[in-house]
Chains A and B, each alone.
Chain A
């Protein structure tokens, strides 16, 4: 998001986390004192399938450089099947973003259970690094929202 001459680029990452697994996973990584970058902003959603494509696009519009969606592992959805629908939707959406020439590494889906605090931290570290390599989001940004 911010590029200072003497400071390296720090991407803004938006992580949509489902209430039942991934958000709890994020909590666990906190109580376990595991480190993950402070540029990750978590938005809690009742289920990963609550996230509609517009959420992802709006996150990019408002300045996100990468968007990650975390939910329960397939088969473990609190609502039985929500994450299966998420999987299809996000596959198609990411494929469309790729088709429009948006860098494919800016988006990701990851399944993180409530017990996987370590996985949550690792995923966020890895994803942030990947997005950092890509640099600021330019292809899907809204210039009006860029902070001066």
Chain B
């Protein structure tokens, strides 16, 4: 795949169809891959990489990149296309300036999961028939491929590209995923159990803002939490209230716009399952206002920008679920 992508990118560069390519750049190890913009065939040849570790969603970078001179080629995985479409809908990217090549997605690997198995000193990772052969300083280690995949890939919602100019590989389908299982499990707990669960998780937060900054739906020029005049800026996380507030507002602000790409949980250095907050909103929207998948199209009204006269009342929250 990587070879084909490099060739296609070189072709498009040579044709003058695009003047830049956004993709992923090789790192020091097998897994530390950085999103990058390439401008020449030599750079592509030398550093472009697409493998089991290229999980980063590059669509948010296009907010800035699509406003620059010339057209940029973006290789987008199915989940990335949802984010891109959503950004197009919100007029955050200039669609005409991006040439999208849809590429097959994951499942992608999570180096943390390999390390959690006690495997350390990783020098190389090879996938042979869904068994990972990991070359380490301490000898070769083996683990099943599916035990090392990212959480966001384990609950993949769709293999379909919702926007592209051309497609490499086959068109996939929307999947029947089990992504709401954990949300449901929490809903069925008692309020006290839920409270304890989230206190336990959110108290790990170090307020690094990685979840917010990586989120393709978080594109405010200035975040309320960065604004000292807002009265809620909380650079000094001194009270548990602030953790709750930050995460509620972060999730709420992308409610109805979050495509469930799972980047927030992927980047969290403290492994907080932040996507569960977003999924809770998605699940509620689906059940209360009708099925809605953000990013699926660029024309429909977002659930929070829309209403029906016979919408349920807020008291529905009091009437259902476990107290």
What is the interface of chain A, defined by CB distance below 8 A to chain B?
Answer: 53-54, 57-58, 60-61, 74-75, 81, 84-85, 87-105, 107-109, 139-144
Beta-carbon contact of B245 and A89 below 8 Å: no
Task: Report the minimum CB–CB distance from A52 to chain B (whole Å).
Answer: 9
- Report the Cα distance A61→B238, complex, angstroms: 13
Whether B280 is near chain A, meaning CB under 8 Å from some CB there, is yes
Beta-carbon contact of A85 and B241 below 8 Å: no
Chain A residue at smallest Cβ distance from B224: A54
Chain B residue at smallest Cβ distance from A142: B241
- Which listed residue, A58, A88, A109, touches B303 by the CB 8 Å rule? A88
Chain B contributes a number of interface residues (CB within 8 A of A) equal to: 50
Chain A residues with Cβ under 8 A from B311's Cβ?
A: 84, 87-88, 91
Chain B residues with Cβ under 8 A from A88's Cβ?
A: 289, 303-304, 306-307, 311
- Report the Cα distance A140→B240, complex, angstroms: 8
Chain A residue at smallest Cβ distance from B311: A87
Whether B193 is near chain A, meaning CB under 8 Å from some CB there, is yes
From known contacts A54-B224, A96-B251, infer whether A101 and B313 are also in contact, taking CB-CB under 8 Å: no
How many cross-chain pairs have Cβ atoms below 8 Å apart between A and B? 114
Q: Contact string, B296-323, partner A, CB cutoff 8 A, digits 1/0?
A: 0000000111111101111111100101
Beta-carbon contact of B318 and A105 below 8 Å: yes
Beta-carbon contact of B314 and A142 below 8 Å: no
From known contacts A88-B311, A144-B239, infer whether A98 and B304 are also in contact, taking CB-CB under 8 Å: no
Beta-carbon contact of A92 and B232 below 8 Å: no
Task: Report the minimum CB–CB distance from A70 to chain B (whole Å).
Answer: 12
Beta-carbon contact of B304 and A96 below 8 Å: no
Beta-carbon contact of B281 and A94 below 8 Å: no
Beta-carbon contact of B280 and A96 below 8 Å: yes
**Could you show 7 A-B contacts with beta carbons less than 8 Å apart?**
A84-B308, A88-B303, A88-B307, A95-B317, A100-B198, A101-B193, A102-B191
Beta-carbon contact of B313 and A93 below 8 Å: no
Beta-carbon contact of A89 and B304 below 8 Å: yes
Chain B residues with Cβ under 8 A from A94's Cβ?
A: 314, 317
From known contacts A53-B249, A96-B251, A105-B318, infer whether A87 and B313 are also in contact, taking CB-CB under 8 Å: yes
Chain B residues with Cβ under 8 A from A87's Cβ?
A: 307, 311, 313-314
Beta-carbon contact of A100 and B307 below 8 Å: no
- Which listed residue, B187, B314, B323, touches A109 by the CB 8 Å rule? B314
Beta-carbon contact of A74 and B249 below 8 Å: no
Task: Report the minimum CB–CB distance from A146 to chain B (whole Å).
Answer: 10
